Structure formats: structure tokens, C-alpha cells
Structure 1
Amino acid sequence: MSIPAEAFFLTPGFNGTLQQQIQQMVADGILRGRFGPGEKMPSSRGLARHLGVSRITVTLAYTELVSGDYLTSRGRSGYFVSDTAPIHPAFTPAERPHGDSVDWERIIGRRFSRHELIAKPQDWQSYPYPFIYGQADATLFDHQNWRQCALRALGKRDFEVLTADFYERDDPMLIEYIIRSILPRRGISARPEEILLTMGAQNALWLSAQILLKPEGLAAVENPCYPGLRAILGQLGVQVRPVDVDSHGASPDAVPEGTEVFFTTPSHQCPTNATMPVDRRTALLERAEREDFVIVEDDYEFEMSFLKPAAPALKSLDREGRVIYVGSFSKSLFPGLRLGYVVASEAFIREARALRAAMLRHAPGHIQRTVAYFLSLGHYDALINRLNQAYKRRRTTMDEAIRLNGLEIAGQGAFGGSSFWMRAPDHIDTDLLAARLRPKGVLIEPGRIFFAPGTAPRNYYRIAYSSIAQTRIPEGIGLIAEAQRQSGHN
């Protein structure tokens, strides 16, 4: 029996090539049982004519399907559905009742969904003025070299890295590069036993909090700070004390007595972008030594120091092993990578490695090896240089537009970064301001969520320049200023 060409049709908006769409249509038809073993496929010429594509596109798709044993070629007779083609099990899904009878309010032992996190629209790329933080700009990324590194990592030579279970270990190539190239820029020296790869900085902070803090232990955090950290600590049920920051970050004198762990972002404070000066870093370490507490340093955006050379990491000044250093490739490469690292004393890393193994074993091997190639071949440094140049231009444009429109900068950072911390007039609620701006194509981040509960002013917000084209910045800032003026008249 022959399958007619009319059984296939192209779907507009398919995320892939025409060849891939044809392959998917044929494979899906076979897997769902619409096309049976031995049935003859339309000729490549006939299917190409029906779909309005080139014959070579159909031929290449058929060739790939033969290699996957979906089709078989019988010389001049054409292509047929293979007798040994993959098939789905013939299960009939059971009728599922609406809802369920489980009393989840009673059964759920711990609540994790009550902690508020930053909300960002999934379709942020469709907005003309996306002043949102942390997303990658496709126009700046090195797609070609990343693709080459990914293909190399997927090759036969790295097959074990791609497929093996590392158990609790990490890719030695990536660890070696972090030791030789990344850490020395921060003044840090470390051995492989003192480094652990994580699923981004968030995972590193979670591991640190789990290991360092006992129930009812006292953790100090900057105020304002990264909301994800406050969610982690809230889930642990520990005491959390805010440490207000100023234009130089957190003051060592403001850390509460009895603190067991102090979480800080000294390079570019989140979200104010303040950089902690060296004398404060030294004083913080001295106080930690006197009062015997540990510091978790989230080295937030240290690569983005394009106005001045980056200050030395707090970890580089540490002589007692009191600093747990957290780094990440999510901001410098792209957030979907989910790859970070922790540098700490071997005793801490031993526990962190065991905890990570119990939770997720390790980061995917092919991701680790791809990043290792990207770093070791010099592509990472070239990308950072390109990002910094672009960010410097965008920052200058945004700074000029902000001042031209009479907006107020609350914290812009002297070293660089990728955002401005802004303050609206006291009567403006920036949650409402963000809602008013969204229909106009403008995305901003209200600042309330960054503050400790009960201390949150409503008139702060963050605007980033990492994901918006430089040419759109002035008009977008103008729309923010106009919305603030309109709020003043309401």
C-alpha cells in the first residue's frame, strides 16, 4: 500500500529546517501507527512537488530516516516503512477524572511556593523595550564558536564525557581551566579538591546554606539583596537578619552579633551595584575572625567591570578559609546554561560534593566539556571583551537618557555591571508603574521584592541594559519618565 503525498503538510512556524520538519512528520506518523511496516512512501519528487520544497530536501530527510531505521530503501522501487521501525507501546490512556481526592493541604509537609520570586514574562523578546536583568542578547553571543565547541564535545573522542556518570566528580578539563584562568583574575589560588561545579549560583547558595546553617541558626543578608537567597533561607527555617547597604555595600559594623553565616555580593551588590572597598573587605574578614562566623561571597558580575579594573575578591584576602566563594557562568555566557562553581576549604567541598551527589549527581557532562572547550580556546575572553564594550556603550546611552528625562539613579555602580538601580518619587508604587508600562512595550523590575519583609519601600526599581538594543534605550527611558509623570497626576 502506498502512502499518498497528501498525508503530509508543512506547519507554519515550525522551529527547525524543512528537512527536520519532514523527518518529524514521517517519524511521528510511524510512531503513532498511521504508517505501517512495508507501506511505500511517496517518491521524493512527488512529495517535494506537493510540499513546495526542493527534491534534495526530501531526499536528505529520507536518508536520515533510513539511518534511524524508520525507512528502508529498495533501490529503484523507492522508500518503504521499515519492518523494524520503532513503535510506541499500544497503551490506551485511562480516562482521568476531573480533579483528585487527595487533601494536599493536609498532606504537604513543607511549603516552598509561598516565597515570592522575580517574575519575568517568557516572551520578553517580543517587547521593544526589555529593561530586564539577566537575559542573554543573541546579537552579542558567539554562536559559531559555541556551536563548534558543542559539536566537538559531542564527538567520539569525548564520548565518555558525554555519556558517563561522573558520580560525584566533575570534568577535570573544566576544573583545570577554572584554576588556571578564571580564579587568578580574582586573586584566588585553589586546588581541584577545593572546587565544586554547581547548577548555577542559586544551587551553590542552596548547598552553602544547607551545610552551614543549623535549624534556628542566624544568617545575615544584605538589604536589599537577591530574592532567591531569601527564599532559600526562608525554606530552611533559619533566623534571617537584614544588613542595610549604602553606596559602598554592606558595612562590617552592621553585621549582627551572633551571626553564623553572612551572605554578601561585594563585587557588584545585588541590586544596587555598589562595590565594597578593600578596607571594608579587610574589616569584614577581621570581624569574621574575631566572632568566628563564615562568609559566603557571591561574586556577582565581576566580569562586567568595564569602568575600572575589578577589585580583588574577598576570597583572595582570606587567610583562614572563612570565605565560601560562589562564581557562575550564567551571567557571562547565558542563564540557561545553569553552570556555576564553589571554591572553599576541602572539608566544606567534601560535604557539598556529597550533598550534591544525593540531589543531582553532577552537572551534565557534555555541558561541562562544551564550556571547557569554549574557555580554553579563548572564546570566553573574547566574548567578555565584546560584552563589556557593548555594555559600556549602552550604559553611556542610558545614563544620558536618564539624566535628560530627570529620572533619579539610586545606585549605578562605579565599576560597571549591567543595570541601574533607580528610585522613583516617594508616592509612586513601582509594581503599579511596571503594570502601566507593560502595555507600552516597556519591561522594568519593581524593587520591592529585593528588600526584607517589613522594610520594603515601594518606589525602587531596576532597569538593565544587557538585553535591549542601544538604539531603543532613549525612547524606552522616555516612556518610563512619562509614566512617572502621569502617576504624579493621578
Structure 2
Amino acid sequence: MAISVETFFLSPESQGTLQAQIQQMIAEGILSGRFRKGEKLPSSRRLAAHLGVSRITVTLAYTELLANDYLTSRGRSGYFVSDNAPVPPDFTPPEKGEETVDWSRAIGRRFTGGNTLEKPHDWASYRYPFVYGQTDPALFDHSNWRLCALQALGQKDFTALTADYFDQDDPRLVEFIARNTLPRRGIIARPEEILITLGAQNALWIAAQILLTQRRVAAIENPCYYALRDILNQSRCHVAPVDVDKNGMRPGQIPGEADVIFATPSHQCPTTATMPMARRKALLKRARAIDALIVEDDYEFEMSFLDAPTPALKSLDTDGRVIYVGSFSKSLFPGLRLGYLVGSESFIREARALRASVLRHPPGHIQRTAAYFLSLGHYDALIRRIRKALSERRAVMQTAIDENGLRVAGTGVFGGSSFWMQAPDQFDTVETAKHLQSQGVLIEPGHQFFQGPDRPTHFYRLGYSSIAASRIGDGIAKIAQAFDGN
């Protein structure tokens, strides 16, 4: 029996090359049982014409499936599903009965119902995506990242690809961070004081698990990174919010019982305020006076295009009080999930043990690929390109905001990739965001960044890392119309 050519189609959402998509399409058909042993596939010429691709693309896909024993070739007769092809399991699943478990009692701790902001997965399809933290494909260096990934797959990197590091990390990546990344922030650290994490959020979770208990107090900025608040709530510690002003967290308002202070001094989240040097020294002095530790999240220092960034808070630390959190997810791409912790060796030793018990270590191939991308100079070239684009977009957005009479509540002194905005008091930006989304405009409501039951609802964030400069003006105009018309 021949398999109809109409069975095959390419989905617009499919990822990978056309050859890979065709291979996957046929393999899935075989694994699902739709294509059976001995059935004939359409000729390469006919399938190519049907799919609108070149014949060589189909031929290469068939050849690869032939090599993997999914297909077999019979002289001039064409390609058939191989007798040795994998087959789906032949069993009848049992009928699903009524659940008798009372999950409301069985679940000992709940992790749902937090403050995580929901962003549309198809944000890139919107014409005006003022979303924060996403990667612009027009700026990312796909070709060199691909080459580094292939290099990391090479025979000489076999150990980095396949080995179980247990609680260790790729020495090349750690060395680059120690010798290149950290010195740019004024930080000197030994490899024993550095731990690779699955992004900054994983680093914050590890720090909270080690430093906090139900009896300890964590001081956080208000407003702050909403995921950090979820992490602290899950740790069951006491949370003490400290209001921020145009210079960031106010050291004098940090309670004396605070054990750990979480801060974003270089680029406050979400207001983008930069803490001046005098206040940084005051923060360190306050932490020393109450014997508290500081967890510094330096999440966007690479995006400094207006002026050179102020040295990290940890560079001013003389008694090992500051634990530093860095991330490549913001500067490379969020899906990378690669960050790092820097702290005293005693702390990193515990962090390494905790990480090993949960996930052992981030994948070796990802670490080695990032190490090559960084050490070969591709990262610095990418950062220069991103800074230039963000500088242009920021200027366009600032002009559009001024022309449309919108109110800016916070702008980064050194750059960044977002504006913290304030709408008139009577507005609920959650409802405004829903209205704008129907017009192809995405904004981020700001209420989830605040602590407490009476969170202000008239703040919102506008990111410009993922929207072309040519679309910013029209998008800002639509936002202004929404606030004028509601």
C-alpha cells in the first residue's frame, strides 16, 4: 500500500531546516503507527512538488532515514518503510477510572498562585511587542553560536559533552568568567568562589535556600523582581519590603533584624534606578552594622550604552559580605538559562552541594558552547551590536513618549532595555494591557512588582529590546490613545 502524498504537510510553526522537518514528519508517522512496515512513500520528485521544496531536500531526508533504518530502498521501485523500523507499543491502555486521591490534602506545599508575569508565547507575532527580556532575532549572532555549538560537539570536547561533572563546572567557562567578565565589574574571584547556575533565578533560589530559614528575615526592594518574592515566600522566611526612590533601595529603612538583603543596585528592577556610589557605601555600612549579608543581582550591566556602568557593589566589599549574581540569559538569550554565583568559598561550597543534589550541574555542552562563544570574541561583538541598537531604540522611544505626553517613572542612568512608566492614578494597567493586546500592542502591567495587598495598579513597563525602532512611534501612540480614551 502506498502512503498518500496528501498525508504530508509542513507546519509554519515547525523549527529546523526543511530537511529536518521532513525527516521528523516521516519518523513521527512511523513511530505513531500511521505508516506501517512495507508501505511505499511518495517519490522524491512528487513529495518535493507537493511540499514546495527542492527535490534534493527530500532526497537527503530519505537518505538519512535510510541510514537510520527507518526506510529501505528497493531498486527502481522507490522508498518503503523498513521491516526493521521502530514500531509503536502494541497494548491497549487501561480505562481511566475516577481519581480517589484528595489532592487538596495530599499536597504538602503549594507553589502555584505566585506573581509570575504571563507573557504571550507568540509575542513575536504582535506588531508592537514592548515586552522585556526577549531576544531580537535580527540582532542575535546565529551563525557563530551555531559554529561554537558544533565545535563543542567535536571529538576533542567529548569529555565536556558527555562527562558527569557531578558538582563541578566547565573549567573553560569558569576561567573566562574569572579572568574577563568579573574584572569588568571590579571583582576579583578564584574558581573556587564561582558556581555556574541555570540562570539568575536559579542563583537567587540557591542563595535563598542556603541563607534563609523560617526564623530569618529577608529585606527586599519594593517594587522588586516578582520571581524573587515568590522564591522568598516559598522559603517561608519573613519578608521585609523596603521602598525604593530614584536612587534605589534606601539603606536607612532596612530593618535591624534583616539577615539577608536582596538588591539590584546597578539597575533596579523594575524602576531601572542606579544606586549612586555614596548610597552603595551606605548600604554596605548598614549591612555591616546589622551583620547582614547582601545578595547583589547585577542582571543587566552589559546593557550600559549611555555611560560606563558603576562598579559592582561586590567590588566595594572588603569583608566577604556580598554574594554576586550574574547572568548570560539577558545578554545572550533567555532560553540559554546560564548564570553564575560569586561568593566566599564557604558559601559556594554549600551552593555547589545543593545544586548537585537537585540537578548536579548545567549541561556540559551548553557550558562549553558558551565558553567558546565568549572566548572567541563573539560575545563582545554581539554586546556592541545590541548596545548600538538599544541606544537607537531608546532615543526613538524617548522622543515618542515626550510627543505623546506619557509619563516616565524611571529610566536607567547608564542604559538598559526598558522604561518604567506611570499612568494616571485611575487606571488599572492590567485592563489597559488587555485592551492594547487586541490592537497588537503588548505592555507589562506593573502591579506584580509590588509587595502587599494594596499594590498600585497604574504602573507599567515598556521594553524595547524586541521591537524594531521603526514601529516604536506608532506603538507608543496607541498606548497614549488607550490612556486618553478609557
TM-score after normalising by structure 2: 0.95
Counterparts of 1:271-310 in structure 2 under 5 Å? 271-310=270-309
What is the alpha-carbon distance in structure 1 between the residues aligned to residue 133 and residue 57 of structure 2? Answer: 38
What is the alpha-carbon distance in structure 1 between the residues aligned to residue 13 and residue 401 of structure 2? Answer: 40
What is the alpha-carbon distance in structure 1 between the residues aligned to residue 9 and residue 426 of structure 2? Answer: 54
* Aligned residue number for residue 71 of structure 1: 71
Whether the 8 Å CA contact 1:299–1:326 is kept in 2: the answer is yes
Whether the 8 Å CA contact 1:5–1:50 is kept in 2: the answer is no
* Aligned residue number for residue 379 of structure 1: 378
Number of residue equivalences: 485
What is the alpha-carbon distance in structure 2 between the residues aligned to residue 8 and residue 474 of structure 1? Answer: 45
Query: Against the structure 1 CA distance between its residues 90 and 267, is the aligned structure 2 distance closer, same or farther, given a 3 Å change threshold?
Result: same
Whether the 8 Å CA contact 1:10–1:21 is kept in 2: the answer is no
Local SS of the residue matching 1:222: strand
Q: Following TM superposition, by how much is the alpha carbon of 1:215 offset from its aligned partner in structure 2, in angstroms?
A: 1.2
What is the alpha-carbon distance in structure 2 between the residues aligned to residue 219 and residue 89 of structure 1? Answer: 52
What is the alpha-carbon distance in structure 2 between the residues aligned to residue 428 and residue 32 of structure 1? Answer: 52
Whether the 8 Å CA contact 2:213–2:236 is kept in 1: the answer is no
What is the alpha-carbon distance in structure 1 between the residues aligned to residue 367 and residue 172 of structure 2? Answer: 9
What is the alpha-carbon distance in structure 2 between the residues aligned to residue 269 and residue 148 of structure 1? Answer: 35
What is the alpha-carbon distance in structure 1 between the residues aligned to residue 233 and residue 181 of structure 2? Answer: 32
Query: Against the structure 1 CA distance between its residues 11 and 387, is the aligned structure 2 distance closer, same or farther, given a 3 Å change threshold?
Result: closer
* Aligned residue number for residue 442 of structure 2: 443
What is the alpha-carbon distance in structure 1 between the residues aligned to residue 410 and residue 449 of structure 2? Answer: 14
* Aligned residue number for residue 28 of structure 1: 28
Q: Following TM superposition, by how much is the alpha carbon of 1:423 offset from its aligned partner in structure 2, in angstroms?
A: 1.1
* Aligned residue number for residue 106 of structure 2: 107
Local SS of the residue matching 1:165: coil
Bigger drift between 40-49 and 137-146 goes to 40-49
What is the alpha-carbon distance in structure 2 between the residues aligned to residue 121 and residue 68 of structure 1? Answer: 38
* Aligned residue number for residue 197 of structure 2: 198
What is the alpha-carbon distance in structure 2 between the residues aligned to residue 284 and residue 51 of structure 1? Answer: 63
Bigger drift between 202-211 and 276-285 goes to 276-285
* Aligned residue number for residue 329 of structure 2: 330
* Aligned residue number for residue 239 of structure 1: 238
Code of the aligned partner of 1:196: L
Cα displacement string for residues 244-302 of structure 1 (whole angstroms, at most 9, x for unaligned residues): 11111112111111110000000100001111111111121122222211000000211
Code of the aligned partner of 1:125: A
What is the alpha-carbon distance in structure 2 between the residues aligned to residue 24 and residue 209 of structure 1? Answer: 42
Q: Following TM superposition, by how much is the alpha carbon of 1:406 offset from its aligned partner in structure 2, in angstroms?
A: 1.1
Gaps of 5+ in 1: none
Code of the aligned partner of 2:284: L
* Aligned residue number for residue 397 of structure 2: 398
What is the alpha-carbon distance in structure 1 between the residues aligned to residue 141 and residue 49 of structure 2? Answer: 38
Query: Against the structure 1 CA distance between its residues 318 and 167, is the aligned structure 2 distance closer, same or farther, given a 3 Å change threshold?
Result: same
What is the alpha-carbon distance in structure 1 between the residues aligned to residue 208 and residue 317 of structure 2? Answer: 20
What is the alpha-carbon distance in structure 2 between the residues aligned to residue 423 and residue 318 of structure 1? Answer: 35
What is the alpha-carbon distance in structure 1 between the residues aligned to residue 401 and residue 51 of structure 2? Answer: 52
Q: Following TM superposition, by how much is the alpha carbon of 1:388 offset from its aligned partner in structure 2, in angstroms?
A: 0.7
Q: Following TM superposition, by how much is the alpha carbon of 1:166 offset from its aligned partner in structure 2, in angstroms?
A: 1.5
Whether the 8 Å CA contact 2:5–2:42 is kept in 1: the answer is no
Bigger drift between 41-50 and 406-415 goes to 41-50
Whether the 8 Å CA contact 2:272–2:412 is kept in 1: the answer is yes
* Aligned residue number for residue 208 of structure 2: 209
What is the alpha-carbon distance in structure 2 between the residues aligned to residue 301 and residue 53 of structure 1? Answer: 42
Local SS of the residue matching 1:116: coil
1:56 counterpart = 2:59: no
What is the alpha-carbon distance in structure 2 between the residues aligned to residue 81 and residue 51 of structure 1? Answer: 20
Local SS of the residue matching 2:473: helix
What is the alpha-carbon distance in structure 1 between the residues aligned to residue 43 and residue 482 of structure 2? Answer: 61
Code of the aligned partner of 2:57: T
Q: Following TM superposition, by how much is the alpha carbon of 1:94 offset from its aligned partner in structure 2, in angstroms?
A: 2.3
* Aligned residue number for residue 257 of structure 1: 256
Code of the aligned partner of 2:131: I
Q: Following TM superposition, by how much is the alpha carbon of 1:51 offset from its aligned partner in structure 2, in angstroms?
A: 5.2
Counterparts of 1:87-486 in structure 2 under 5 Å? 87-97=87-97, 100-486=99-485
TM-score after normalising by structure 1: 0.94
Query: Against the structure 1 CA distance between its residues 121 and 79, is the aligned structure 2 distance closer, same or farther, given a 3 Å change threshold?
Result: closer
What is the alpha-carbon distance in structure 2 between the residues aligned to residue 453 and residue 4 of structure 1? Answer: 61
Q: Following TM superposition, by how much is the alpha carbon of 1:62 offset from its aligned partner in structure 2, in angstroms?
A: 1.6
What is the alpha-carbon distance in structure 2 between the residues aligned to residue 340 and residue 260 of structure 1? Answer: 24
